[in-house]
Structure 1
Amino acid sequence: MPRFVLMAAVAALAILTVGSGPAAAHATLVGSDPADGSSLTTAPRAVSMTFSENVGSGFVAVTAPSGTRVKTSNVRTVDRVLTADVADSDERGRYTIAYRVVSADGHPVAGELTFTTTSGRDVKKAAAVPEEAFVDRHRGHLVLGLAVAVLAVGLILAPLRRGRDG
């Protein structure tokens, strides 16, 4: 019997090893215009990212040095290239391009690139809005939940107390 179990385990392992093909690789970014980390005189009117394989539906967001969004339009993918038109921006400083595409194997691929402009107006980065804590956002719900829990415990324990008193 143990010999049969060992042979079955070896056969199952062989089937699993032979049956599993190579893992499908996701698309990877191989180039961009503007190049990641590049320095430009002015902000570009379009951005593009080139991937290692064909990509499907895409999303592009450009953030200006002030932290505000720069309008993008006409986002399109053609084979391995994701392109978007970018509205004028006259801010000097570091821009961020965030992208997301669907790889040929169906998996989403996302990332960020940056570039810097050397001309334009100086801006201050918008102050980050402090995030409201969970307790602050849900204080009313938590108080109500606690009150209901105390009432429930009281209702459960009331018959036990009456039983001891009687």
Structure 2
Amino acid sequence: MPDQRQPVRARAAWVLLVLGLVAPLALTTLPAEAHAGLVSSDPADGSSLTEAPDEVTVSFNENVARPAFLALTAPDGTAVDLGEPRIVDATVTADVPDLPLRGSYALSYRVVSADGHPVEGTVTFELLTGAEPAAGAAAPVSEESYLHRHRGHIAWGAGAAAVAVGLIAWPLVRRREDAR
């Protein structure tokens, strides 16, 4: 008579193996949910200014680390040379030279959150004084889509779904084999 404990031991070994592989992966994704978020900016997002700012500032809900990058795009699409970014706790500041053009400016930032996750985004402000930008000049459009920004999260989600389907299907396959 065949030993009935053998299939149970084999299943238990597979379950332990899968749990041993999946648990560390699941635990490593938890800290990524706590990365820094933008709290405020100066100039504020969407604001209209009658005078050009001397500096730009972005503030986050937690401390940020080096490196930090700030980039300012003028209404004609050219880059404005900012001073070296200064980081103090959760705030990043850079000096701004004279802004001669009237129109919409885009301040882009990329910082490293306390958990090591890069955080990036853009705020805009309107300068109501200055020279009119040259005709035909347009600010560059970002080519990065939602899928590009979140491809890592999507890949982890697809992997987790594949493991879940495998865990659900495994007992069904084993039952069919045992029934033969």
TM-score (norm 2): 0.62
Runs of 4+ in 1 over 6 A off after TM superposition: none
Contact 2:31 2:115 in 1 (8 A): no
The separation in 2 between residues aligned to 1:87 and 1:23, in whole angstroms, is 38
Equivalent position of 2:27 in the other structure:
20
Of 48, 68, 71 in structure 1, the residue corresponding to residue 81 of structure 2 is 71
1:3 has 2:8 as partner: yes
Q: 2:172: which partner in 1?
A: none
What are the ranges of 5 or more consecutive residues in structure 2 without an aligned counterpart? 1-5, 139-180
**In structure 1, the residue corresponding to 2:39 is in which secondary structure?**
strand
- Can you give the 5+ residue segments of structure 1 that lack an aligned partner in the other structure? 129-166
* TM-fit CA distance, 1:95: 0.4
Q: Secondary structure at the match of 1:74?
A: coil
* Greater fraction strand: 1
Structure-to-structure mapping, 1:85-164, within 5 angstroms = 85-124=95-134, 127=137
Q: Which residue of 2 aligns with 1:31?
A: 40
CA-based RMSD of the aligned residues comes to 2.3
Q: How many pairs does the alignment contain? A: 128
How far the C-alpha of 1:17 sits from its partner, in A, is 4.0
Paired residue for 1:41?
A: 50
Q: Which moved more, 1:8-17 or 1:116-125?
A: 8-17
Alignment TM-score, normalising by the size of structure 1: 0.66
Quote the Cα distance in structure 1 between the aligned partners of 2:48 and 2:135. Answer: 19
Please say which structure displays the higher CA radius of gyration.
1
| Partner Cα distance (2:73, 2:97) in 1 | 11
Percent identical among aligned pairs is 48
